[in-house]
Amino acid sequence: MAGVIWYTYTPGILEYLAPKRLPGLVIALVVSFLRVWFSAAKIRFLSEKTISWWGAFRVQLSWDFTSAVTPSTIGGAPMATYAMTKEGLKLGESTAIILYSVLLDQIWFAIAIPILLFAGIYLDVVPPEVGFIGEASMLVLYVALLSYASVLAYGVLINPAAISKIIKWVAKLPFLRRYREKIDHEAINLEQYAHQLKGKPFRFILQAFYYSTMSWLARIALAPIVILSLLPAPELLSVLRSLAMNLAFLVVPTPGGSGGVEGLFVLFQGPLISREAFIGLALFLWRIISYYITIGFGMMATTWYVNKEVQDLKRT
């Protein structure tokens, strides 16, 4: 981020800020909160309101925090699973909810990808600067996400027993053998709760999918809102590129995508910003709102669970 600001900033550029646009940054903060709210609402809904609103927010914030400090390919799902057990759910139920939640995200990706491919016929959704290799990489990413969605859908919606069998097989590894009985028990819980979710009416799936979709739309809207808070830009193309780069974020291997995410922002959104000197400022504001604030609140939520674990250990 510092590098981008160093190479793009021009002294006196702040004079070109339009005061009438700056309230857009407040909108960006609200949208960032809505992203967390919709994600927490999805968790609470999938737990059939067993988890309280405060608990759902804690789970989501700890999920976000862990995602922010671990490689994107790992994510915060393990922490979210642990957090839900501290909110009163069984481990198997928590795992099933996480799998179902991830599946809803994958279904959303499966819908979004054809939209990007269709829009790419008429607009430069993938910047020309990435070249053939970049376009091929995005295509491979799309195929990988669709394939993963298909496998997960099979395991969660069609054959939950397959996931249970995989977990039981993993439990046979030497370093897990002493936990095998407990793992087998939780695998049964996972399978049972997955069957319960599988048997839910279509309206249940639709509402959960609504929460997932709104959360992702809020995430995607952040970059265009921040940019438009500084200066004019092609709105539709900025939104489509924000969607494409958010999909690319999923495979950035660094903690929280740091470095790669900033690079993708410059690559996808930079050409749309008419004043090059604003690129660094837009990147800085976007990362503060979408990433660093999350780290702050997520750290508090995660610490709450750590303290609770310490207190439980003292009681035992």
Distance between CA 53 and CA 153 in Å, rounded? 28
Among residues 148, 161, 146, the alpha carbon closest in space to that of 195 is found at 161
Paired residues of 255 in beta bridges: 71
**Residue-level pLDDT at 189:** 61
Name the percent of the chain lying above pLDDT 70.
85
Distance separating alpha carbons of residues 213 and 205, to the nearest angstrom: 12
Count of C-beta atoms within a 10 Å radius of residue 296 = 10
Task: Give 171's pLDDT tier (boundaries 50, 70, 90).
Answer: low
pLDDT tens for 56-92 read 999 999 999 988 887 765 667 888 888 998 898 887 7
Other Cβ atoms closer than 10 A to 161: 13
Q: Which residue has the higher pLDDT, 166 or 280?
A: 280
Per-residue confidence at 93, pLDDT binned at 50, 70, 90?
confident
What's residue 212's pLDDT?
Answer: 93
Q: Is the dihedral of CA 300, 306, 310, 313 positive or negative?
A: positive
Q: Which of 236, 287, 240, 229 is nearest to 268 (CA)?
A: 240
151 vs 260, residue with greater confidence: 260
* Structure confidence by residue, pLDDT tens digits, 196-219: 767 778 888 899 999 999 999 999
Coil vs helix vs strand at 179: helix
How much is the pTM? 0.85
Q: What is the DSSP letter of 176?
A: G
Q: In the numeric block, which tokens belong to residue 262?
A: 């900033």
Q: How far is CA 302 from the centre of its chain?
A: 17
197, 209 Cβ separation under 8 angstroms: no
**pLDDT classification of 13: cutoffs 50, 70, 90:** confident
Helix (H, G, I), strand (E, B) or coil at 126: coil
Q: Give the DSSP letter of residue 71.
A: B
> What pLDDT, on a 0 to 100 scale, did the predictor assign at position 21?
85
Mean pLDDT of the region 113-129: 85
What distance in Å separates the CA atoms of residue 35 and residue 290, rounded to the nearest whole number?
10
* CA-based torsion, 60, 66, 67, 72: positive or negative: negative
pLDDT of residue 214: 95
The residue among 97, 74, 73, 75 whose CA lies nearest residue 85 is 97
Residue 95, strand partner residues:
none
CA gap 258, 312 in Å, rounded: 35
Surface-to-core class of residue 239, CB atoms within 10 Å of its CB (0-12 exposed, 13-18 middle, 19+ buried): middle
Place of tokens 């839910």: 200
Residue 173's pLDDT is: 67
Alpha helices in the chain (DSSP H): 2-8, 24-46, 53-69, 77-86, 91-122, 131-153, 160-170, 180-198, 202-228, 235-249, 260-269, 278-287, 293-315
What is residue 255's three-state secondary structure?
strand
pLDDT at residue 107 greater than cutoff 90: no
Length of the chain, in residues: 316
Report the mean per-residue pLDDT for the chain: 83
The answer to whether residues 269 and 282 touch, using CB atoms and an 8 Å cutoff, is yes
Specify the pLDDT at position 103: 82
